[in-house]
Chain A
Amino acid sequence: DGGITQSPKYLFRKEGQNVTLSCEQNLNHDAMYWYRQDPGQGLRLIYYSQIVNDFQKGDIAEGYSVSREKKESFPLTVTSAQKNPTAFYLCASSWPAVASEQFFGPGTRLTVL
Chain B
Amino acid sequence: KNQVEQSPQSLIILEGKNCTLQCNYTVSPFSNLRWYKQDTGRGPVSLTIMTFSENTKSNGRYTATLDADTKQSSLHITASQLSDSASYICVVSSGGSQGNLIFGKGTKLSVKP
Q: Interface of A with B (CB < 8 Å)?
A: 1, 4, 31, 33, 40-45, 48, 50, 56, 58, 88, 90, 92, 94, 96, 98-107, 109
Contact partner, A42, options B45, B49, B105, Cβ 8 Å = B105
Q: How far is the CA of A83 from the CA of B55 in the complex (A)?
A: 43
Q: Please, which residues of chain A bring their CB within 8 A of the CB of B99?
A: 33, 45, 48, 56, 58
Q: Interface of B with A (CB < 8 Å)?
A: 4, 31-32, 34, 36, 41-46, 49, 51, 89, 93, 95-99, 101-106
Q: Which residue of A lies closest to B90 (CB)?
A: A42
Q: Which residue of A lies closest to B108 (CB)?
A: A40
CB–CB B43/A99 < 8 A: no
The answer to whether A98 and B97 touch (CB under 8 A), given A40-B105, A42-B4, A42-B105, is yes
> Which are the 8 A-B pairs with shortest beta-carbon distances?
A104-B43, A42-B103, A43-B103, A48-B99, A101-B46, A42-B105, A104-B44, A99-B32
